[in-house]
Amino acid sequence: MPKVLVVDDEEHIRMLYEEELKSEGYEVVTVATGRGILDLIEKEKPDIIILDIKMVDCNGLDVLQQVRNKYYNLPVILSTAYETYKSDIKSMAADAYVVKSFDLTELKKKIKQCLEAKTLEK
């Protein structure tokens, strides 16, 4: 069962993602901050990360750069409440992005696509 690491400072988003993704058969780990992300990745060994761009204590795009520098092939889906980040996301080497919504159909589709692409690379 693939492991998803959800990094988002909003508790209701973490809870929503965790509940929905567990019901789809994923193992889910959630955290409220991107600080210490590299140690967490080493410990949890996720198959994919869902990363909020705009968190109170850190910038998700900076966190993405840290992840890319050490774990280049680890799929990362950026999650944002703002459509205006689309151009930033494309230039930051994220595997995908989603605009936050209570309908997680698009997120689940992107997770599946990213995990399938990762499997094909092996």
Residue 44: give its domain's CATH number.
3.40.50.2300
> What mean pLDDT comes out for the span 33-41?
94
By the 8 A CB rule, do 30 and 14 touch? yes
* 87, part of any domain: yes
In a domain, 98, yes or no: yes
Does this model's pTM top 0.85? My answer is yes
Total domain count, the chain: 1
Q: How confident is the model at residue 81 (pLDDT cuts 50, 70, 90)?
A: confident
114 in any annotated domain: no
| Residue 111 belongs to a domain | no
Asked if the structure places residue 53 within a domain, the reply is yes
7's enclosing H/E stretch is strand 3-7
Domain that holds residue 74: 3-106
Task: Estimate to the nearest angstrom the gap between the alpha carbon of 44 and the chain centroid.
Answer: 14
What is the three-class DSSP state of 35?
coil
3 neighbors 29 (Cβ within 8 angstroms)? yes
Q: What are phi and psi of 78, to 5 degrees?
A: -85, 140
Percent of the chain surpassing pLDDT 70:
90
Within a domain: residue 83?
yes
Tokens 């959800």 belong to which residue? 6
Pairing of strands 3-7, 48-52: parallel
Residue-level pLDDT at 75: 96
β-partners of residue 30 are 6
Instruction: Tell me what pLDDT residue 34 has.
Output: 93
Residue at 119 is within a domain? no
Residue 84 within a domain: yes
Res 118 pLDDT > 70: yes
